[in-house]
């Protein structure tokens, strides 16, 4: 089976199992009309992924090339297939996996849900296995895709469990502390909130440095678990 044939099969499967009720249910979590979906249930998607990967007429290279086609689609489920294909093969991850993901952001990923799935399920295993390191994200800081920029701090959240030295992470995300996009603010704030829970002293030094310059949404997220007395220290003075 060719990648084009497999892609057509997946699209037909999505169309034949579309469900408007599911579309309506989840559309409220996405702004600006980015949730263009068939309404495929997660169980159906998972089952189809499993069935495809078990077939003899589908090899790893076919899946790799089909994923390039899927990731470009505006329909929510088609990139989801690509993400699930890769998750199922986490044991085979190598440096090419990271390059593939960078390509996805350059050509297709356009919402927070796919971006955050990539961070937790695909990029974190690469970091944990030391196939990549946080400095490999440096070019992503200036990426044109805001969800690729968001992926930098979000990818590092799980790594907080692996180290007590957060200073390299703080140095990496500094350019994002004045990023213009809301989704990036949320990602940076989320990371800083989790960092604060593990290392208050270093995180608060970093927050204090940026409290007068950064968008307040970052601090809204970063300070979420603080008590009122702690939060007041990170209010702007002007």
| Span 147-189, pLDDT tens digits | 999 999 999 999 998 888 899 999 999 999 999 999 999 999 9
**236 lies in some domain:** yes
The answer to whether the beta carbons of residues 169 and 127 sit under 8 Å apart is no
Asked whether residue 11 is domain-assigned, the answer is: yes
pLDDT for 99-118, tens place per residue? 999 999 999 899 999 999 99
92, 122, 144 - which closes a domain: 92
Under the banding of pLDDT at 50, 70 and 90, the label for residue 238 is: confident
Residue 1 in 3-state DSSP? Answer: coil
Q: What is the number of structural domains in the chain?
A: 2
pLDDT at 33 over 70: no
Instruction: Specify whether 127 is located in the same domain as 68.
Output: no
Tens of pLDDT, residue by residue over 65-95, are: 999 999 999 999 999 999 999 999 999 999 9
> What domain range is 159 assigned to?
110-238
The enclosing domain of 117 has a CATH number of 1.25.10.90
Check residue 96 and give its pLDDT: 94
Whether residue 99 lies inside any domain: the answer is: no
Q: How confident is the model at residue 35 (pLDDT cuts 50, 70, 90)?
A: confident
Tokens of 151: 């992926």
């Amino acid at each position: 089976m060719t990648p084009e044939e497999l892609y057509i099969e997946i699209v037909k499967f999505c169309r034949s199992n579309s469900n408007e009720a599911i579309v309506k249910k989840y559309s409220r979590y996405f702004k600006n009309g980015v949730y263009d979906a068939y309404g495929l249930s997660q169980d159906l998607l998972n089952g189809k992924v499993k069935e495809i990967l078990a077939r003899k007429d589908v090899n790893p290279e076919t899946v790799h090339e089909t994923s390039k086609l899927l990731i470009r689609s505006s329909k929510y489920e088609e990139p989801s297939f690509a993400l699930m294909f890769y998750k199922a093969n986490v044991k085979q991850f190598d440096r090419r996996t990271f390059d593939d993901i960078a390509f996805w952001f350059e050509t297709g990923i356009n919402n927070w849900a796919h971006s955050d799935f990539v961070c937790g399920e695909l990029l974190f295993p690469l970091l944990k296995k030391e196939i990549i390191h946080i400095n490999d994200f440096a070019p992503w800081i200036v990426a044109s895709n805001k969800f690729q920029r968001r992926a930098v701090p979000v990818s590092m959240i799980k790594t907080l469990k692996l180290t007590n030295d957060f200073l390299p992470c703080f140095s990496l995300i500094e350019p994002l502390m004045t990023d213009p996009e809301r989704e990036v603010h949320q990602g940076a704030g989320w990371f800083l909130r989790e960092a604060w829970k593990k290392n208050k002293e270093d995180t608060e030094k970093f927050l204090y440095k940026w409290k007068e310059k950064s968008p307040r949404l970052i601090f809204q997220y970063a300070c979420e678990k603080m008590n009122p007395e702690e939060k007041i220290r990170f209010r702007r003075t002007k």
